[in-house]
Amino acid sequence: MATSNPVKTTPEYSEGSIRVLKGLEPVKQRPGMYTRTDNPLHIIQEVLDNAADEALAGHGKKIKVTLHADGSVSIEDDGRGIPFGMHPEENAPVIELVFTRLHAGGKFDKGKGGAYSFSGGLHGVGVSVTNALGKRLEAITHREGSVARIVFEGGDVAEALQVRKAGEGDRKSGSTIRVWPDPKYFESAVLPMGELTHLLRSKAVLMPGVSVTLVNEKTKDSQNWLYKGGLKDYLMQTLNGDPVIPLFDGEGFADSQNDNFAEGEGASWCVAFTEEGNPVRESYVNLIPTSAGGTHESGLRDGLFTAVKSFIELHSLLPKGVKLMPEDVFARASYVLSAKVLDPQFQGQIKERLNSRDAVRLVSSFVRPTLELWLNQHVDYGKKLAELAIKAAQTRQKAGQKVEKRKSSGVAVLPGKLTDCESKDIAYNEVFLVEGDSAGGSAKMGRDKENQAILPLRGKVLNTWEVDRDRLFANNEIHDISVAIGVDPHGPNDTPDLSGLRYGKVCILSDADVDGSHIQVLLLTLFFRHFPKLIETGHVFVARPPLFRVDAPARGKKPASKAYALDEGELTAILDKLRKEGVREGAWSISRFKGLGEMNAEQLWDTTLNPDTRRLLPVTLGAIDFGATEALITKLMGKGEAAARRELMELHGDSVEIDV
């Protein structure tokens, strides 16, 4: 019997179907991966950051931004100018590489002799993204007695580099970049003026003595910012409400004798405490605004809290039964914080949140002693601040007790496996659903008893996608989860009583391997199907434990250190950093965690439980709505959907790197 070839319904998948995106193609194909696409402000900011980096390095005193009548924007500075000589290896002018290669720039060469020790740019995707998403870009650079000009269109060179001798009317050094953003890449081609002026003003604040100007050709308006008094001037002008005590400002930077941090790393800050009004909170890393905060803000919080707490203890000011939390001190604080970090790691390409773990200790180590000293020199002001923090703690504890009374009538007995926390304050309480008893043991020892609870789960949880709500409690694990959280199972259209909720954060904590991912999926299925309101109100989170640990030997003044990596990508970045610091190839040791049970309590706290340094992902609906998400999970978790899952594997199997 002859066998017929099956009919091919999918296009052929062979060597020829793999496309390698060259040059700036990846940016044009997926602009959202590299920048914000709601408007072109972020691609303008990339150029502005470069001008600010020049001023930060001490090479410029003026930055001028012009909004031209034809919709283009130009940024002019008096820095050193972009080099335009030939690159020794690439056989192209350096200025051309800066605008056409994704990972080219003067900011990768950190440490000794690098052109920039501290800079906001790190990914090296900077101005090349500006170029990729612009219809046209003109760059003029003045340096070493010459003026060079190059023009790009759609990211490609349109007019080759021309160099002429500088004439009498020319500047000595500096660069002017003029860009025409391409509206097809942005939802709106209009620059948000409020955000732009705020950004320019903040640059002036952070660089006292540097003049920043904005000129609008259409309206003939021009604004100039120059702050001689830096952060204090700025915070006084923007503060809502009167400060309870005088503004606390200061700065601290590591010197060459510092064992823990690189020379020049540190922070300057100004903090005001007010009784009412919305707090003003702005933070920057190497002059880049970090709108989503990050580890440097955690360092400020930690420094303020430990200083105020030790002042309160020293003067015995804490009433009986009151427990002080970091948020009690931080809740009424307004601040501007400007941190300098040698090799900043950001979350997301648009650098809105700082992720570098060391920044917590860095900022805290300078803020704490300075504030402690100041409070003890001004005891009256110290007592006023202590009063504010104690009042906040009492209000918080009262709110917690009210809820407790309402819940205590006929409440189910809490599961025996649950190790509960001491605090009754739902806003701060967290429960970790931990895979396996051994990991549960480490988590119990490593947690913060005050507000972290642990519920160990045995093995795989039931797949509840097609289980009736009435039958859910037949499964012990699910019964325990529901009772521990304090919320009954419900559907998407029900209005469940969330007043019994016992924890503000319900965190899924499983191994970083395939089994761990499976348990994570089963628990997410449970919450999406039977506790959808918890996801909708932002109470469900996934903890990300690391997969690798790197032990590095002592190097120079830096002592031996441990670093953790979530995945291969972060591991590569850590090793690159060690090489830059002069560690001999292979002198480090890399260990891989098979599971959470292998971590001791201290490691688990450092990497996964400590709010300042952990990675905790909030669970929310993605780009698709509830119905589409439901259909997708049915495909993944439904009993009769094996064929659909097989099709998914055939389609996407090649793109998954799996570690079984």
Residue that the structure tokens 């191994």 belong to: 511
Q: Is 302 among the catalytic positions?
A: no
Q: Where are the alpha helices (DSSP H) in 486-566?
A: 514-530, 532-536
Annotated ligand binding at 244? The verdict is: no
Amino acid sitting at position 413? V
Annotated ligand binding at 163? The verdict is: no
Q: Return all residues near 575 (Cβ < 8 A) that are at least 6 apart.
A: 550, 588
Q: Is 511 among the catalytic positions?
A: yes
Annotated ligand binding at 497? The verdict is: no
Tell me the Cα Rg of the chain: 28
Q: Which long-range contacts (CB under 8 A, 24 or more apart) does 245-248 make?
A: 245/273, 245/378, 245/381, 245/384, 245/385, 246/381, 247/271, 247/272, 248/272, 248/371, 248/374
Residue tagged active-site, from 144, 251, 448, 515: 515
Residue tagged active-site, from 53, 265, 511, 612: 511
> What's the Cα-to-Cα distance from 58 to each of 77, 79, 106, 241, 517, rounded to whole Å?
12, 8, 16, 36, 49
CA 155 to chain centre: 29
Q: Strand pairing partners for 618?
A: 541
Q: What is the 3-class SS of 78-131, one letter each residue?
A: CCCCCCCCECCCCCCEHHHHHHHCCCCCCCCCCCCCCCCCCCCCCCCCHHHHHH
Residue tagged active-site, from 46, 430, 435, 477: 435
Annotated ligand binding at 451? The verdict is: no
498 three-state secondary structure: helix
Annotated ligand binding at 383? The verdict is: no
Please state, in angstroms and rounded to a whole number, the distance separating the CA atoms of residues 141 and 150. Answer: 9
Q: Tokens in use for 579?
A: 């090489």
Annotated ligand binding at 429? The verdict is: no
Annotated ligand binding at 77? The verdict is: yes
Annotated ligand binding at 504? The verdict is: no
Residue tagged active-site, from 25, 144, 448, 513: 513
* DSSP letter (8 states) at residue 596: G
Annotated ligand binding at 557? The verdict is: no
b/e sequence 424-440, b meaning 16+ C-beta within 10 Å: bbbebbbbbbbbbeebb
Annotated ligand binding at 224? The verdict is: no
**H or E element that contains 445:** helix 437-446
Q: Is 513 among the catalytic positions?
A: yes
Annotated ligand binding at 13? The verdict is: yes
Q: Strand pairing partners for 267?
A: 252, 339
> What's the Cα-to-Cα distance from 24 to each of 180, 297, 490, rounded to whole Å?
17, 34, 49
Q: Annotated binding site for ATP, which residues?
A: 13, 50, 77, 121-127, 351
Instruction: Point out the residues that are catalytic.
Output: 435, 511, 513, 515
Q: Annotated binding site, which residues?
A: 13, 50, 77, 121-127, 351
